[in-house]
Amino acid sequence: MALLVNRISKHELKAQLKKEAIERKTISFYRYVKIENPTALRDELYKQWFDKKCFGRIYLAHEGINAQMSVPTAEWENFVTHLNSLPYFKDVPFKHAVDGNGKSFYKLIVKVRDKIVADGIDDPSFDPSNTGTYLNAKAFNEALANPNTIVIDMRNHYESEVGRFENAFCPDADTFREELPLVVEHLKGKEDKKVLMYCTGGIRCEKASAYMKYKGFKDVNHLQGGIIQYAKEIKEQALESKFKGVNFVFDERIGERITNDVLSTCHQCGAPCDTHVNCKNDDCHLLFIQCEKCAEKMNGCCTDVCQSIANLPLEEQKLLRKGRVKNGPECLAVYKSRLRPNLKDILTKQNELKLTH
């Protein structure tokens, strides 16, 4: 059976989304649950959601589901009814975006993976369902007030760079797989301390809390529903937000503003800024922070090299890519090889990169 996929180009899909008049909801949900045949389930979900004009990025594995989606408001009730009809996902809790118009995704992607969260854990005795204690926003704020509490950010460095809880330990890592050993090392000798963990929507810190318990930590807690649910609860209950700045999200919005605090700076000029962008040179696509002035000056690119390529006609860009080492991995290697606070120097170095044909 052929794999069900959307073959329309992203440029055309984005143009269609921009013209679209229907209302949409941006949601996310996950569940750790044993799925016998994720491939068959994948095809069933794709057909159902494609017909409902749902967009998003969904991962399925034998251990469960992880989904971020844009659902037409008119189809919302049908969407929920269908999901509840599946034993795997009955009454699964949804997290709703706090801002945006629902146009967060432009196509539907449903993939089967080995795990819904790649963790690098190979020990069969590890039980991801043996999680820590769930805390809602109010309980999380109260636990933060204890000076002996240890707060751990289970997100990647580029996420915590623009927003985080006060006094949180933020691992300098690019992946969840890299973070776990860094967190264990940071907490070494503190097995009896109260540990609070958080992430974007709850899926990473839930597995991390189980891993910390597996490693012998006694009082492990995690923010229920992640920052997304926290933002909703503090708004509804008029609570003080202990999370400052922007919540990085993995869709077209890139970030949800939680408070007006700006914690980071433009990677090109050093001005206060917390706007993440992807380099407009599609052959690079480096994720970095860029202010409005630099965006205008650099045409949304990370270097002069990328700007010169992005300014070429699309067909010339395609021809340029053929038969040469891509500039993107080179840019990324330079970016990761130096201290990120000194990215201005890194970008100067990037300008020296030579394109090879």
If asked whether residues 102 and 176 sit together in one domain, one would say no
Instruction: Kindly state the average pLDDT of the residues 302-330.
Output: 69
Residue 329, domain member (yes or no)? yes
If asked whether residues 149 and 105 sit together in one domain, one would say no
What is the domain-level CATH number for residue 198? 3.40.250.10
- DSSP state at residue 167: T
Pick from 95, 236, 215: nearest CA to 152:
215
Residue 125, domain member (yes or no)? no
Residue 206, domain member (yes or no)? yes
Q: Tell me which of 188, 213, 237 is where a domain ends.
A: 237
Residue 266's alpha-carbon distances to 48, 160, 341, in angstroms, are 42, 15, 10
Distance CA 124, CA 66 (A): 21
Q: Tell me which of 189, 214, 237 is where a domain ends.
A: 237
Residue 2's alpha-carbon distances to 5, 43, 46, 357, in angstroms, are 9, 10, 13, 36
Residue 269, domain member (yes or no)? no
More confident residue, 135 or 343: 135
If asked whether residues 142 and 196 sit together in one domain, one would say yes
Residue 188, domain member (yes or no)? yes
Residue 262, domain member (yes or no)? no
If asked whether residues 166 and 209 sit together in one domain, one would say yes
Q: Which of 199, 279, 294, 301 is catalytic?
A: 199
If asked whether residues 142 and 232 sit together in one domain, one would say yes
If asked whether residues 175 and 229 sit together in one domain, one would say yes
If asked whether residues 96 and 166 sit together in one domain, one would say no
The predicted-structure confidence for 58-83, as pLDDT tens digits, reads as follows: 999 998 999 999 999 999 999 999 99
If asked whether residues 169 and 231 sit together in one domain, one would say yes
Residue 250, domain member (yes or no)? no
The predicted-structure confidence for 318-340, as pLDDT tens digits, reads as follows: 766 664 444 444 544 443 443 34
Q: What is the pLDDT of residue 335?
A: 38
Q: Provide the greatest CA pair distance for the chain.
A: 61
If asked whether residues 143 and 233 sit together in one domain, one would say yes
Confidence label for 342 from pLDDT (cuts 50, 70 and 90): very low
If asked whether residues 139 and 206 sit together in one domain, one would say yes
Residues in the chain: 357
Q: What's CA 279's distance to the chain center, in Å? A: 18
If asked whether residues 216 and 183 sit together in one domain, one would say yes
Average pLDDT over all residues of the chain: 83
Instruction: Let me know if 199 is a catalytic residue.
Output: yes
Confidence label for 144 from pLDDT (cuts 50, 70 and 90): very high
If asked whether residues 153 and 228 sit together in one domain, one would say yes
Residue 52, domain member (yes or no)? yes
C-alpha angle with apex 162: 165 to 297, nearest 5 degrees? 165
Is 0.75 surpassed by the pTM of this model?
Answer: no
Show the domain range for 319.
Answer: 276-351
Q: Tell me which of 189, 218, 237 is where a domain ends.
A: 237
Give how many domains the chain has, as a whole number: 3
What is the domain-level CATH number for residue 107? 3.30.70.100
